[in-house]
Structure 1
Amino acid sequence: MSTLSLAARDSSTMIRRQLKRLVRYPSMTIQLIVTPVILLLLFVYVFGGTLGDGIGGGRHAYVNYVVPGILLMAAATAATGTAVMVATDMTEGIIARFRTMRISRASVLTGHVVGSIVQQLLGAAVLVGIALAIGFRPNASVVEWLAATGLFALFALAITWLAVALGLKSPNPESASNAPMPLIILPFLGSGFVPTDSMPTVLRWFAEYQPFTPIMETLRGLLLGSEIGDSGPIAVAWCAGIAALSYLWAKRIFNRA
């Protein structure tokens, strides 16, 4: 069997390990799904009337506006769980045991990444379903839905590799749970909940040039038909760059551990 075949087989085994972990310990998965749903309901029904009037259209318009930001927050929340699981594996000795076995080293991290992306896609599907039930009305074509799903999956890949690297770098699971927290805050400091032109100058500059804003604007444009402009290629570039750099960082830390 070739090296590539062995790596693919071992990666498949590690992916099944992660998916079984999600099934056996559903509390974390439920928490990662429920938290974004609560935020969605909170912003729509508590703040949506006032914030919706600010963007024009009231609560109905605000539901459409806020969904992309909540989706990215959901992905960042799931990435926090990934960082914790990676740190747990590193501190409980299972990685040392894997290294005594004839398996591909890369497969261990691949299992975490793919398992997390599956979790994020399922969570996003549930969140979109709830959003549709409370008034979210996208007008995207099938192609635009596929493009939005692809962009979200690319973002999930990027943020998951970053979470893996942070988990590897953390000395214990408790520290790993705090490391990705800034990622959850970034949608608030972008165009996730209010347009950037309503912010003070310094904050508006940061909001417009941080990575989450072009991703949210692209998702919003694909799903709702708003203007995308140059946000599309910028969003893809951010996701690809973060994924590549985070992968190299995680690989370096893992090989040195």
Structure 2
Amino acid sequence: MNSLSLAVRDSSTMLRRNLLRVRRYPSMTLNLLLTPVMMLLLFVFVFGEAMSAGIGGGADRSDYLAYLLPGLLLMTIGSTTIGTAVSVSMDMTEGIIARFRTMAIHRGSILIGHVIGSVLQTIISVAFVGAVGVAIGFRSTDATLVEWVAAFGLLTLFALALTWIAVGMGMVSPNAEAASNNAMPLIFLPLISSAFVPVDAMPGAFQPIAEYQPFTPAIETLRGLLLGTEIGHNGWLALGWCVGLALLGYFWSKSVFERDPK
């Protein structure tokens, strides 16, 4: 069996292992998924009229729902990948990685299984939150098929990038609790972005944070694709952030995995 066939076979095995873990322990996924769903319902039905008036949409919840949902989809990616950091940390600290190192398997398949499994789980979570948004009134009547495909591609690429970052966080964490804490910025950053209010409506001290971070250009690009708003340079910025974070997470994880015997 050649190296490529071995890598594909072992990566498939590791993917199946991680999907079985998700099925056996659904509480973590459910807890992480409930955060964006509850925020969606809270901001639409409790604050929706006031927030809509604040962004110039009139006192109409549906206007704010259209503004909010793209940001919540990106926030869902950030919250779901926390589970990846915890899962990787558990493997690193409970000895299973050490056991895998002694077996005749493709070394890269261990990380690839985590990454592919996490991306699949994240896309399913995003689809669920999107379905909740549609159920409470979100509509994207102006988006073409190409724009829908581009939006799905952006969400997938963003999920891949944050997953690699989460893998790195999990590998350097001493335990699962620390991994969960280290990955919390993946939830907090969307709160200081254009997900809930426009950047220029924020206090001055927060505007640079909101503007120069990965979530804001991705959110604005997703809004442009689904709602027909102006994308401008945000598309290229979002793509650049995705590629940069994915490469950073990949080389970080690979470096730690190759040198850490624990």
Q: What's the counterpart of residue 154 of structure 1?
A: 157
Q: What's the counterpart of residue 107 of structure 2?
A: 105
Which runs of structure 2 are paired with 1:1-257 in the superposition (5 Å)?
A: 1-57=1-57, 58-139=60-141, 140-257=143-260
Partners of 2:118 and 2:31 lie apart in 1 by 14
- Which residue identity lines up with residue 237 of structure 1 in the other structure? G
Shift of 1:200: 2.3
Percent identical among aligned pairs is: 58
SS at the partner of 1:186? helix
- Which residue identity lines up with residue 84 of structure 2 in the other structure? T
Contact 1:53/1:59 (<8 A) preserved: no
Partners of 2:191 and 2:111 lie apart in 1 by 30
Shift of 1:206: 2.1
Contact 1:32/1:123 (<8 A) preserved: no
Shift of 1:145: 0.8
Contact 1:83/1:177 (<8 A) preserved: yes
Aligned-residue RMSD, C-alpha:
1.0
Structure 2: give runs of 5+ residues left out of the alignment. none
- Which residue identity lines up with residue 153 of structure 1 in the other structure? T
Shift of 1:30: 2.0
Q: What is the TM-score normalised by the length of structure 2?
A: 0.96
- Which residue identity lines up with residue 228 of structure 1 in the other structure? I
Partners of 2:114 and 2:192 lie apart in 1 by 28
Partners of 2:40 and 2:215 lie apart in 1 by 18
Partners of 1:125 and 1:217 lie apart in 2 by 19
Per-residue CA deviation, residues 72-120 of structure 1 (Å, 9 max, x unaligned), is: 1111111111000000001111111111100011111111111111111
Shift of 1:231: 0.5
Per-residue CA deviation, residues 139-170 of structure 1 (Å, 9 max, x unaligned), is: 31111111001000000000000000000000
Runs of 4+ in 1 over 4 A off after TM superposition: none
Partners of 2:107 and 2:46 lie apart in 1 by 48
- Which residue identity lines up with residue 48 of structure 1 in the other structure? G
Contact 2:195/2:219 (<8 A) preserved: yes
- Which residue identity lines up with residue 56 of structure 1 in the other structure? G
Greater shift in the superposed pair: 200-209 or 113-122 = 200-209
Contact 2:82/2:186 (<8 A) preserved: no
Per-residue CA deviation, residues 188-230 of structure 1 (Å, 9 max, x unaligned), is: 1110100011112232122112111000000010011110011
Partners of 1:187 and 1:35 lie apart in 2 by 12
Aligned residue pairs, count: 257
